Amino acid sequence: MEVAPLDKTTSGIKEAAKLIEAGKYYEANQALKGVEDGVRFDVTDVDSTQKKSAGETSKPATTSASAKK
């Protein structure tokens, strides 16, 4: 999930647009980089259907195989 602060993102893009119109492409790129750096990433399990109680811990499933000779 990506989250960007709306006010800072909007103002950064507007500033970059003004810089592009003025022919200041390097500065516009830096303004857009600042917008991009303001984006936060968060990983969430949205498919989870079960909630564990406070006392439960998850145990990995183990399998064992024995080779006969």
In a domain, 33, yes or no: yes
The per-residue pLDDT for 30 is 96
What are phi and psi for residue 40, nearest 5 degrees?
A: -105, 145
Assess contact for 11 and 19: CB atoms under 8 A: no
Domain contains 63: no
Q: Could you tell me the residue range of the domain that residue 32 belongs to?
A: 2-41
- Asked whether residue 19 is domain-assigned, the answer is yes
Condensed to tens digits (0 to 9), the pLDDT of residues 4-60 reads: 778 888 999 999 999 999 999 999 999 999 998 887 777 777 776 666 656 655 555
Check: pTM over 0.75? Answer yes or no: no
For 29-60, the three-class secondary structure string (H helix, E strand, C coil) is: HHHHHHHHHCCEECCCCCCCCCCCCCCCCCCC
Q: How many domains does the chain have?
A: 1
